[in-house]
Amino acid sequence: MRIPPKLLQLKELQAVKPPRVSFEFFPPKSIEAEEKLWQAVKKLEALQPDFVSVTYGAGGSTRERTHATVKRILDETTLKPAAHLTCVNASRDEIDAVAKTYWDIGVKHIVALRGDAPDMKDGGAYVPHPDGYAYAADLVRGLREVADFEISVAAYPEMHPQAQSMEADLRHLKEKIDAGATRAISQYFFDADDYFRFIEQTKKLGITVPIIAGILPIANFAQAQKFSAMCGATIPKWIIDLFESLPDDPAVVEMASVAVTTEICNKLIAGGVDDIHFYTLNRAELTQAVCALIGVK
């Protein structure tokens, strides 16, 4: 089993400015899941994140729950919510109406995504809505006409799984930025060097907006492997070996996850990264622990 690289020492951490953080949540499907989400929201609110985002299910399947979650965050917390919005299964007029409603209630930040149709996980192809926005760049342009939103878009350090090539994927990112996106948020990764290489590639294309590093604390390794296979994120062999060697004890798995995630974040911070976006999976504890270790309190 490979031991993770040395973490930054405490005195080194104290000398480094902590990064800004943001968190992603997903809308709950049940009363129990809702209680779990709001426990996580309230715990992570104390860390004063730059913003929090709320996801949108495939095909707009969580549309109403996403809206309700965003509204409650806006009404009941001090957090600044960013609402995910996708192109699938909706006309331009419908999407514009949703965006206008968000603006009117005080949501000024949209995460603009192409999105996936419900059958894409079974091998189906993405087909644009005949009266909708075809791709994320089109959605960004449309949102710019609705209101002066902050607009975040997705970026893929290891390439979108449906992209024809890394070069093509980078061009798509450039199109989204040129259409008016404020920033990009990266798909999660487990090797900081993949992120740094990606940033160098974007700079060569003239992309100058911030690209926030996306990080997934591993709460369930089997689930992380499944997600990663779907989204094209590579899990390094040393992480696979580490988690496969652990006993079937949730407390031990959590300690390993915090150590691994903190190591990735420390390497990002040492390389000059100022913003980290945590995919929380509606769990607060792992993200809280990592944030404490990187100086976000």
pLDDT at 135 over 70: yes
Mean pLDDT lowest among 122-131, 251-260, 266-275: 122-131
Tokens standing for residue 288: 């809280």
| Across 207-217, average pLDDT | 97
Confidence label for 275 from pLDDT (cuts 50, 70 and 90): very high
* pLDDT score recorded for residue 273: 97
Confidence label for 118 from pLDDT (cuts 50, 70 and 90): low
Domains observed in the chain:
10-293 (3.20.20.220)
* pLDDT score recorded for residue 198: 98
| Across 84-111, average pLDDT | 95
pLDDT at 261 over 90: yes
pLDDT at 176 over 60: yes
| Across 73-98, average pLDDT | 95
* pLDDT score recorded for residue 2: 40
* pLDDT score recorded for residue 127: 82
Round to whole Å and give the CA distance between 199 and 186: 10
Q: Which residues contact 259 (CB under 8 A, 6 or more apart)?
A: 4, 7
CB atoms within 10 A of CB 22: 22
Round to whole Å and give the CA distance between 79 and 42: 10
- Among positive and negative, which fits the CA dihedral 138, 143, 145, 149? negative
Confidence label for 11 from pLDDT (cuts 50, 70 and 90): very low
Confidence label for 61 from pLDDT (cuts 50, 70 and 90): low
Active site residue 24: yes
* pLDDT score recorded for residue 59: 58
CA angle 105, 111, 276 (to 5 degrees): 115
Q: What is the pLDDT of residues 146-167, one digit of tens each?
A: 999 999 999 999 999 989 999 9
Round to whole Å and give the CA distance between 215 and 223: 15
* pLDDT score recorded for residue 58: 60
- Helix or strand or coil: residue 111? strand
* pLDDT score recorded for residue 5: 46
Q: Which of 24, 34, 200, 244 is catalytic?
A: 24
| Across 114-127, average pLDDT | 68
Helix (H) or strand (E) holding 104, with range, is helix 92-105
Confidence label for 12 from pLDDT (cuts 50, 70 and 90): low
